[in-house]
Amino acid sequence: MSGLFSLCVLFFAALPVQAQTLLVVGDSLSAGYGLRQHEAWPVLLGDRLTRAGYGYSVVNASTSGDTTANGRSRIDASLAAHKPAIVIIALGANDGLRGLSLKSMHDNLEAMTRAAQAAGARVLIAGMQLPPNYGPAYTQKFAATFSDVAEATRSALLPFLLDGFATDPQSFQQDGVHPVAAAQPRIVDNVWQALKPLLGKPR
């Protein structure tokens, strides 16, 4: 019996450990607008996770043009399909650029976060900032919305996805909105600092 038990232990130990899923729910900034698919930061994040020995497979469910309302409408289906251990919510930029209701944005972000948490996922909220021409009252309240949701839901927070290069024209495509391929590793660096506490120990 002990021999059979030992064989079973060896058999199961030899089986490959299934990677957990990290789900990115974002807009064009995460979908890799204007880039080749392998250049987008979620793909680079997956590469870094692998190199660092973490057992996560990144699924990029980002769609160009999405607002928080769009994300809220599809979060349940994404959670059911991918059963993620971690969800990065990187939405809100289009809400701000279109001057949409910040209360609705808050409600949508909170609903997505709580849905992910109810599904057993840890959540990182990636915040954004707006250019000053939107006025100080709106831009300040917009930026604070992400931290307010993170605090209310006890989620991890990255205050600004584009921190460190948002004012550098060379880091953006001709539209001045979407980062170039060379800037994508800088986004990964920003995400990594906020994400690492959620990852657990490397394998």
Amino acid at residue number 194: A
Domain ranges of the chain: 19-199
136-193: per-residue pLDDT in tens?
Answer: 999 999 999 999 999 999 999 999 999 999 999 999 999 999 999 999 999 999 999 9
- Asked if 93 contacts 6 with a C-beta cutoff of 8 angstroms, the reply is no
CATH architecture, domain defined by 19-199: 3-Layer(aba) Sandwich (3.40)
Q: Is 175 a catalytic residue?
A: yes
Residue 16 has pLDDT above 50, yes or no: no
Rounded mean pLDDT of the chain?
93
Q: Report the C-alpha gap between 178 and 163 in whole angstroms.
A: 14
Per the CB < 8 A criterion, the answer to whether 140 and 102 are in contact is no
Output the pLDDT for position 203: 80
The span from the CA of 32 to the CA of 37, in Å, is 7
Look at residue 24 and tell me whether its pLDDT is greater than 90: yes
The one catalytic residue in 27, 28, 30, 62 is 28
Report phi then psi at 195, rounded to 5. -80, -35
Placement of tokens 């990144």 in the chain: 58
Candidates 57, 104, 171, 178; catalytic one: 178
Q: Which residues contact 30 (CB under 8 A, 6 or more apart)?
A: 24, 40, 41, 42, 60, 62, 90
Note the pLDDT tens digit of each residue in 80-105. Answer: 999 999 999 999 999 999 999 999 99
Please tell me the predicted confidence (pLDDT) of residue 158: 98
| Catalytic site includes residue 38 | no
Q: What are the structure tokens assigned to 154, written together? A: 């006890």
Question: What pLDDT does residue 154 have?
Answer: 98
User: What is the model's pLDDT at position 8?
Assistant: 41
CA distance 22 to 84: 5
The pTM for the full model equals 0.91
Q: Could you tell me how far CA 26 lies from the centroid of its own chain? A: 7
